[in-house]
Amino acid sequence: MSGETLAFACRCGSLRGEITDVSPAAYTNILCHCADCRSAYTHLGLADPEKVGILQTTQDRIKITEGGEALQVFRLSGRGALRWYASCCDTPLFYTPLKARAVHVGVNTDRLDTPDALTPPMSEAYIPTADGKTRHKGVGRMVTRMVTRMAAKNLNGEWRDTPFFDDSGAPALPPQVLTREERAAALMGVRKGA
């Protein structure tokens, strides 16, 4: 898929965009079972997806083409990542680290117009086990690819090209931090052992 573009949209279609210059080297397709990724859905009133498909890439590849005024952000806790969503229909879309120079973005693959165009998932995180613990598959490769992309974007200055942060490196919008009650309610919607 060298140089191709993948389109994405919120559930109602008001917020739309594209991921540009997509090639297998430019992203990592993963599955995540963690409570944070899943409770981002339940906080927004959606069913627990049990696992979240995520396309990991760099923020400079994300272009919002319509409905950008609906983009909002929250954090599950004071230490949590930034969870970006479309407020028009409460659709979770992306997560980013707290710092612009980290350049990483996770795009929820259920928002892609053509998720089947992606390579198969390379990594799977927080897989529940029968003893109540979790295990991971392919995390080393995922982290290596993420760090390599991050280093390249910091060296060439492309970390500044982002819809998520302003020129000072602060989030483009002030994130809402969930209260303990809101966080607990979101976690209540996450099925145990799923």
* pLDDT tens-digit readout, 20-56: 988 888 999 999 999 999 999 999 999 999 999 999 9
Statement: residue 120 has pLDDT above 90: yes
Domains detected in the chain: 4-188 (2.170.150.70)
Q: How far is CA 173 from CA 70, 73, 107, in A?
A: 11, 7, 18
Please give the Cα distance from 82 to 71 (Å, whole number).
12
Segment 80-84 mean pLDDT:
95
The chain-wide mean pLDDT, for the chain, equals 93
Please give the Cα distance from 93 to 86 (Å, whole number).
7
CB 168 within 8 A of CB 109: no
* pLDDT tens-digit readout, 54-78: 999 999 999 999 999 999 999 999 9
What is the structure's pLDDT at 1?
40
* pLDDT tens-digit readout, 138-171: 999 999 999 999 999 998 988 989 999 998 989 9
* Percent of all residues in the chain with a pLDDT value above 90, rounded to a whole number: 82
Starting at the earlier edge strand, list the strands of the sheet with 104-108. Answer: 134-137, 123-128, 28-32, 52-58, 104-108, 91-96, 82-86, 71-75, 176-177
What is the structure's pLDDT at 182?
95
Statement: residue 193 has pLDDT above 80: no
Segment 171-176 mean pLDDT:
95
